[in-house]
Amino acid sequence: MATGTIDWINQPASSTNTEFRYTLNRQFFWNDLAMAYRFTGDAKYITELKTQLDSWSRQYTRLSNPDSWISTDVRPKWDLFTTSERVKNWMYAYYMVQDTGGWDGYSNTMFLHSRIAEAIGGFDEELGIGTANNGGEDTDYALRAYRQSRKSRFVNRALIGHRDHNPRLRSRYYRGSLIAIARHTAMRPASVALLVRKIMVGSFLVATRDMSSQEFRTALRAAFMVGKAQTFAPAPPQSRGRAA
């Protein structure tokens, strides 16, 4: 792991307290970060919160079988009490920062008719934080909804944008969103301009050294070369109502 990244899973050599990992993964301190940002307006607190959320999501994978939470090899990941405390603290922290400039809302601003939601299914589980592609599930979902809709309304004014203040965090989501856009461009050629713009964004991130050239090449291969037939195939209906 990169220097400064929290190891959420392994017991540190400096502590013999068996409760250390459980307490760490309840993330009470996220409320402190949220409050510090709310009271001071200093971006370092919200940046740290988002960085920790990103690293936690990378290290924790979803359970293939929810009933296996009791297994020692997934604890304290999904210990029920730890999970319930974590959810509570996430909600407290989220509601403290959701209406601030440091926390950018985007996916939760989309409204769909129930017919559309039922037709397209859930999120693509090959995309999103916690997968190898680490993002793009929201872009893929929105594009699938757009293709399925008979009508879409465009509001021609500023609403809510997704502009993370930390460019390194933006670059981590690049690969998944590029895959999603490339997939839908193959089925809807009118989206070529969107795809070209996304590639230009990747080039800019490389030029500003916010993303490595290796990460950029890997993203391009994932979107255009590796498993091309699968990548460009229409997304099948995904599972509904599964907890992430």
pLDDT band at 163 (very low <50, low <70, confident <90, very high): low
> Per-residue pLDDT tens for 117-143?
778 777 787 887 667 777 788 788 888
The whole model's pTM is what?
A: 0.48
Domain residue ranges of the chain, discontinuous segments joined by + = 21-97, 107-151+165-232
Which residue matches tokens 């709310």? 38
| Nearest of 59, 57, 64 to residue 243 by alpha carbon | 64
> Per-residue pLDDT tens for 221-232?
888 864 443 443
Listed ranges 69-73, 188-192, 236-240; the one with the highest mean pLDDT: 188-192
> Per-residue pLDDT tens for 184-201?
887 777 778 888 888 888
